[in-house]
């Protein structure tokens, strides 16, 4: 009797306690709010062989953020953090635009590919530097990447000479502003990166290794995991993602702005990761949650525009969302809030909570 | 017991010698920079150039003092730049658009900053959320409030306020300082006293050394942690007031990235980012180093402003490496 009664209750609680429940709920809520204010919000139509619609726009404009957030997720899973992604975004966009402006023929595909290669190479190198500072020299991640965050903005402005570089190159424009197979090209890039990352981390042992390094770097090194190399690789991957995002952002507007490109994207990316339920303490991560988190942020921005609230207040709403999500995820807060509610009917479920959480 | 004595002996004497090393290095760097500047440029080696560094960075000094408290406990406060901007905005809008007296506006602004810090401190302590994320939310909130007040720059024309802003306090040798410098130095003195000679200061160091031990020792961890963020909020608000005295305007994009400058100044001043070790004097020297970099670049004339960022990044790198070496040798 007792066991039968318990069955459905546990599963309902499991749905609510699933780590993707809250971000998904927030996203659905935001989308519903949009449908309420703009009736045709969910419609997607085919025009000139391209898909158009608000949902497509959210995915398209959110693409760079999702990319950066995917890289950030892995870094945070190792217990680190990468503040330099915004600067890397600016540097990679600046370098590729500088390379393209130096080309004789800006339309040449090989020229653009070289520019992309050079920019991504530099991004990868910067990521390696971050990784070596963190894993090799043993500097706190937040500080190690702070160096590049400060110096990198200067570097980006040095590359563009403080100007806004504009390019006129059709192949380059494709990366962030073009369409392929009816879908925005940027979204396809994100899907590809997400697919590869998910395959490497969830179908191979890599994800487990990353999580074990994040759980306890020393213990995992003693267990025979090369934690040092793994951490360097993760920072390099994060910078590479940021580099691709930088190409997308600069290609979408066909120009590079060392000052403002990717400004505050590191904070948005960290926010996306946190909303997605990845703990900042490291040790576990959720790629799906991160993508949801990034979509929540982008939808929030879109919603504010479409409802007609002054866009300047976006930051206020972000502050509210961050606070709410953090409070919901804080065990201390949950305990305090839930205890108060649950104490009246029964004291037992509250004490059962941590036991359920351990395997999950 | 004997092993205790053995390990305590050498490490204590080592610590005695090395305690001041980071501060000494920063002081040496400052002297070296000033000497090189004096040899390279005419009219550089004058007292007024040094005082100008103070005048141009009084607000940063105050903000960095607050940041020192937070970093000494092992936390971080990303909201300071936004709170500075919010303070300039509130000051400007209340005085220019609503005709308030500065005597009412300044206390109100300081109260807002402290309250914001208090709330963040409570969230950090009672709900056990990382300081990084809480102060990030605080940053969004403060910048958002700036934009709600207005998106344009508001200039301050209140007579008393502009008079204070333009007052030059004469010093011997035809030199002068502004009122902001006097306020900033007063803040530094009070903060240094609090940090090194009061119970609160000892608690701050203890929590930075090990929060767990501090708790077990029966120190008021909750009160101290919340106090630290409140102090940082207060200092940011005061920094904002000084900033509005300096520019005589309020603008939501003021002090963009100032949190980084403040953190950089604290680190260059030799405070360990893991908390528990560092001096307020170091922070003052750190702010002076940052200010002197800007002065040298403006004296050079041909270097563009972005070199400031690159130099600060390089300095950060060197000093963090130095910190790492010291703490590695200590352990």
Domain-by-domain residue ranges, chain A?
59-330
Q: Chain B window 101-130: which residues touch A at a Cβ cutoff of 8 Å? A: 123, 126-130
How far is A220 from chain B, CA to nearest CA, in Å?
A: 22
Give residue B222's pLDDT. Answer: 92
Mean pLDDT over residues B93-104, rounded? 89
Buried b (16+ CB within 10 A) or exposed e, B215-236: eeeebebeebbbbbbbbbbbbb
Instruction: List pLDDT tens digits, range B257-305.
Output: 788 889 989 988 888 888 888 889 999 999 999 999 888 888 887 777 7
CA distance A85 to A66: 13
- pLDDT for residue B10 is more than 50: no
Q: Tell which of B313, B323, B324, B328 to mutate to test the A interface (max A CBs under 10 Å).
A: B313
Helix (H, G, I), strand (E, B) or coil at B267: helix
B144, A310 Cβ separation under 8 angstroms = no
Give residue A290's pLDDT. Answer: 92
Give residue B252's pLDDT. Answer: 80
Confidence of residue B83 (pLDDT cuts 50, 70, 90): very high
B309, A153 Cβ separation under 8 angstroms = yes
Which top CATH class is A59-330? mainly alpha
Percent above pLDDT 70 for chain B: 94
Instruction: List pLDDT tens digits, range A283-309.
Output: 888 899 999 999 988 888 888 877 777
List, for chain A, all residue ranges whose pLDDT scores fall below the cut of 70.
Answer: 1-12, 16-17, 338-360
Taking CB atoms and an 8 Å limit, are A147 and B316 in contact across chains?
yes
Q: With beta carbons under 8 A apart, name residues in chain B contacting A126.
A: none
Q: What's the ipTM?
A: 0.76
B266, A146 Cβ separation under 8 angstroms = no
Taking CB atoms and an 8 Å limit, are A158 and B312 in contact across chains?
no
C-alpha distance from residue B197 to each of A138, B29, B269 (Å)? 33, 28, 20
Q: With beta carbons under 8 A apart, name residues in chain B contacting A300.
A: none
A322 vs B137, B309, B316: nearest CB: B137
C-alpha distance from residue A13 to each of A21, A293, A312 (Å)? 11, 22, 38
Give residue B5's pLDDT. Answer: 38
Least-confidence region, from A98-107, B89-98, B216-225, B232-241: A98-107
Give residue B121's pLDDT. Answer: 94
**Cβ-proximal residues to A163 (8 Å cutoff; 6+ apart), any chain:** none
Q: pTM for the full model?
A: 0.81
Give residue B331's pLDDT. Answer: 60
Half-sphere exposure of B315 (CA within 13 A, CB side): 29
Q: A255 versus B326: which is more confidently predicted?
A: A255
Which top CATH class is B22-330? mainly alpha
Beta bridge partners of A180: A183
Give residue B238's pLDDT. Answer: 95
């Amino acid at each position: 009797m007792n066991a039968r009664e318990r069955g459905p209750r546990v599963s309902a609680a499991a749905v609510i306690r699933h780590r993707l429940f809250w971000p998904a709920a927030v996203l659905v809520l935001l989308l519903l709010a949009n449908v309420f204010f703009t009736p045709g919000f969910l419609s997607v139509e085919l025009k000139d062989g391209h898909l158009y619609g608000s949902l497509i726009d959210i995915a398209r404009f959110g693409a760079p953020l999702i990319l950066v957030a995917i890289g950030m997720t892995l870094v945070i899973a190792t217990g680190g953090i990468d503040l330099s992604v915004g600067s890397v975004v600016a540097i990679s966009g600046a370098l590729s635009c500088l390379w393209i402006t130096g080309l004789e023929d800006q339309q040449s595909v090989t020229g653009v590919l070289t520019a992309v290669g050079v920019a991504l190479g530099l991004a990868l190198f910067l990521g390696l530097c971050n990784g070596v500072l963190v894993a090799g020299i043993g500097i706190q991640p937040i500080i190690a990447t702070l160096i590049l965050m400060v110096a990198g903005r200067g570097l980006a402005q040095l590359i563009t000479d403080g100007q806004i570089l504009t390019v006129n190159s059709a192949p380059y424009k494709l990366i962030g502003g073009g369409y392929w197979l009816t879908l925005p090209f940027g979204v396809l890039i994100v899907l590809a990166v997400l697919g590869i990352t998910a395959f490497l981390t969830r179908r191979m042992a890599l994800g487990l290794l990353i999580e074990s390094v994040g759980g306890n770097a020393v213990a995992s090194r003693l267990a025979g995991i090369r934690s040092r190399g793994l951490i360097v690789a993760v920072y390099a991957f994060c910078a590479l993602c940021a580099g691709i995002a930088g190409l997308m952002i600069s290609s979408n507007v066909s120009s590079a702005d060392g000052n403002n490109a990717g400004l505050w994207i590191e904070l948005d990316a960290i926010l996306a990761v946190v909303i997605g339920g990845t703990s900042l303490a490291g040790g576990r991560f959720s790629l799906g949650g991160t993508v949801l988190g990034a979509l929540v942020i982008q939808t929030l921005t879109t919603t504010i525009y479409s409802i007609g609230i002054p866009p300047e207040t976006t930051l206020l709403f972000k502050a509210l969302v961050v606070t709410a999500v953090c409070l919901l995820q804080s065990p201390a807060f949950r305990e305090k809030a839930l205890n108060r509610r649950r104490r009246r009917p029964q004291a037992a479920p509250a004490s059962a909570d941590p036991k359920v959480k351990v395997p999950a | 017991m004997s092993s205790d004595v053995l390990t305590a002996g050498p490490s204590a004497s080592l610590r005695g010698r090395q305690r001041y090393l980071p501060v000494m290095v920063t002081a040496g760097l400052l002297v070296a920079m000033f000497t090189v500047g004096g040899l390279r440029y005419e009219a550089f080696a004058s007292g007024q150039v040094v005082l100008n560094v103070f005048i141009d960075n009084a607000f940063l000094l105050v903000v960095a003092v607050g940041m020192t408290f937070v970093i000494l406990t092992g936390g971080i406060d990303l909201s300071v730049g936004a709170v500075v901007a919010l303070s300039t905005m509130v000051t400007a809008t209340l005085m220019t658009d609503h005709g308030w007296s500065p005597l009412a506006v300044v206390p109100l602004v300081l109260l807002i900053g402290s309250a914001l810090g208090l709330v963040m401190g409570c969230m950090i302590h009672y709900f056990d959320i990382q300081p990084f994320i809480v102060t990030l939310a605080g940053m969004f909130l403060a910048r958002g409030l700036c934009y709600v007040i207005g998106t344009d720059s508001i200039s301050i024309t209140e007579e008393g306020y502009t008079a204070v802003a333009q007052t030059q306090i004469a010093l011997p040798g035809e030199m002068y300082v502004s009122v902001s410098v006097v306020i900033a130095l007063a803040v530094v003195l009070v903060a240094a006293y609090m940090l090194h000679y009061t119970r609160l200061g000892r608690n701050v160091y203890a929590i930075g050394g090990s929060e767990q031990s501090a708790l077990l020792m029966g120190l008021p961890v909750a009160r101290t942690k919340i106090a630290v963020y409140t102090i940082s909020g207060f200092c940011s608000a005061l920094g904002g007031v000084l900033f509005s005295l300096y520019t005589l305007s309020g603008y939501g994009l003021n002090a963009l990235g100032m949190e980084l400058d403040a953190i950089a100044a604290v680190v260059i001043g030799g405070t360990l980012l893991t908390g528990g070790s560092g001096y307020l004097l170091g922070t003052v020297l750190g702010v002076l180093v940052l200010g002197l970099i800007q002065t040298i670049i403006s004296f050079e004339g041909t270097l563009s402003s972005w070199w400031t960022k690159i130099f600060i990044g390089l300095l950060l790198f060197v000093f963090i490496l130095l910190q790492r070496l010291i703490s590695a040798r200590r352990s």
